[in-house]
Amino acid sequence: MLRSTKALSGYRILARDGDIGKAQEFLFDDSTWTIRYLVVDTGHRLPGRKVLISTVALGNPDWESHELSVDLTMEQVTNSPGIDTDIPVSRQYQLDLHAYYGWPDYWTYGGFYNVAPPQPPFGGEEEETYREESDDPHLRSTGEVFGYHIQAIDGEIGHVEDFIADDRSWIIRYMQVDTRNWLPGKKVLISPRWISDISWTEQLVYVDLSRDAVKHSPEYSPAEPVNREYETRLYDYYGRPKYWHRHVRK
C-alpha cells in the first residue's frame, strides 16, 4: 500500500527478539526515488546511537500498533557498524554495512530489489575507486527535503511536506505538497516523474507543471489512504502515463 513516510516516524522497531528503538526518517536514492535505509534511533538501548537498516530487512508495518518489524536480532543491531550522522553516508560505510548483514548491494545491479539478484563480481580497481569516493551523492534524507520549495514552470506553488511510498517495494510514488503559501490550505500530490530538476543547494524542486494545473488538480487528504481510484484521477487529470501500466510489445 501507499503510505506516508512521515507517519512512520516514531514507530517502534521490533527485531526478532525485542525492541531496538524508534524510526526516525528514511534515506532514499534520488536517482531512482527508492528508499534504501530506515534510520533508527536506538534510544535507551544504545543512547545517542543511530543505526541504518536496509529496506530488504523490513517487514510490513503494523499501522494499528505503530510497530515495524525487522528480520534481524537485537545482537546483530547492537554489533552493527556504527554511524554518527544520518547523511552524508560514505560508500565505504555502505560496503561494510552490507557485508556485515549479508544484504545485496543495490548499486551493483540497477538499483531495485524486485527479485533476489545474483551478486556480480565487485573488486579490483572498481571497488577501490568506489571506496575512495567519500560520499554517496544520491542518498538523501527525507527529513532534509521536507520544506523544500516547489517551483512550477511559472512560479512557486508550495513546499514539500511529506513523501508517499509503497510499503513493499519502498519506491517513493509521490511528494505531498502543501500549497498554503499560494493556495490556502490545499494539499496535492506530485509524482517524482514530473520533477524536471532539483537544486539541493537552493532547496528547490522544479516540476514541469503550471501553477494553474496544480491549482485545479485533485486535492489530497492525508487522512485518507492513496488508492488506485485517486491515482487514476490524478494521472488522467495531468494526462501522464500511469506507472502501473506496463508497455506491451506487439
How far is residue 29's CA from residue 139's CA, in Å, rounded to a whole number? 5
How far is residue 178's CA from residue 189's CA, in Å, rounded to a whole number? 9
Domains 2-107+118-137 and 146-238 equal at CATH topology level: yes
Query: 91-101 and 124-132 helices cross at what angle (nearest 10)?
Result: 120
**If phi over 0 gives left and psi between -120 and 50 gives alpha, with beta otherwise, what is residue 147?**
left
- The rounded radius of gyration (Å) of the Cα atoms in the chain is 19
Residue 32 above 60 pLDDT? yes
Within 10 angstroms of residue 209's Cβ, the number of other Cβ atoms is 21
Q: Where do the structural domains in the chain lie, given as residue ranges?
A: 2-107+118-137, 146-238
Judged on CB neighbours under 10 Å (0-12, 13-18, 19+), 60 is exposed
- Which distant-in-sequence residues (6+ apart) come within 8 Å of 114 by Cβ? 169
- Work out the average pLDDT over 145-153: 94
> pLDDT tens, 91-125?
888 899 999 999 988 877 544 443 333 333 344 44
The reported pLDDT for the residue numbered 49 is: 82
How far is residue 184's CA from residue 102's CA, in Å, rounded to a whole number? 49
How far is residue 238's CA from residue 235's CA, in Å, rounded to a whole number? 5
The reported pLDDT for the residue numbered 246 is: 66
- Work out the average pLDDT over 30-54: 87
Q: Are 149 and 205 in contact (CB under 8 A)?
A: yes
Query: Whose CA is closest to 208, among 194, 219, 226, 229?
Result: 194
Helices (H), the chain: 74-78, 91-101, 124-132, 142-145, 211-215, 228-238
> pLDDT tens, 193-229?
999 999 989 999 999 999 999 989 999 999 888 999 9
- Which distant-in-sequence residues (6+ apart) come within 8 Å of 86 by Cβ? 24, 25, 27, 39, 50, 141, 143
> pLDDT tens, 171-193?
999 999 999 877 677 899 999 99
For the chain, percent of residues with pLDDT exceeding 90: 60
- Domain 146-238, CATH among 3.40.50.1820, 3.40.50.11890, 3.90.50.10, 3.40.50.300: 3.90.50.10
pTM comes to: 0.85
Residue 238 above 70 pLDDT? yes
Q: Are 5 and 173 in contact (CB under 8 A)?
A: no
- CATH 3.90.50.10 assigned to domain 2-107+118-137? The reply is yes
First and final CA of the chain: distance in angstroms?
31
